[in-house]
Amino acid sequence: MATLQRTMSQVMDKEEGEDMSAGENCPMPTQDITLNLKNRAKAITTAAYGPENPKLPNEAFWRKKADQWDVSIDDSKQSLCGNCAAFNVSDKIKECIANGIGMEADPWGTIKLADLGYCEIFDFKCAGTRTCDAWVVGGPNTGEQEGEEEEGEYEEDES
């Protein structure tokens, strides 16, 4: 995916022995709020990422999704980022998100409260209680799927 390619490029550009701590080997949108917001805005405009506040009824939003997917409103409400195959909630990506939030706030509390993960389609920090037109069955990506390497794409080289 795009994130993996960018992340690998970032890692490959590092000089041997160069510090890879503090999120430097993480997807850039997890570390740069401006880039994250730009990518989220693209998901909103191109894939109807939403609803804006998932705690509200948002009937018009869910009706539109139901009509688009030709399912009931209740069924449309079951296709969330939190169960999308592109929603990365691996420990490694959560570390990246926490590093990007920094210590000005409670990063782990924020991740938990907002149900944050990383959208690997649109490359931004994503709330699990939202959805978009690009939703893919089979998630979330916990980093433990069959065939996925244990040494992950966001981990620094320990050699």
State how far Cα 14 lies from the chain centre.
24
Question: Would you say 155 and 107 are in contact if contact means Cβ atoms under 8 Å apart?
Answer: no
Question: Is this structure's pTM higher than 0.85?
Answer: no
Q: What is the pLDDT of residues 108-134, one digit of tens each?
A: 999 999 999 999 999 999 999 999 999
Q: Is the pLDDT of residue 64 over 80?
A: yes
Look at strands 124-127 and 116-119 and give their pairing.
antiparallel
CB atoms near residue 90 (< 10 Å): 20
Joined tokens for residue 40: 């989220």
3-state SS class at 87: strand
Which DSSP state fits 98? H
pLDDT value of position 19: 37
pLDDT digits (tens, 9 = 90+) for 15-35: 333 333 455 689 999 999 999
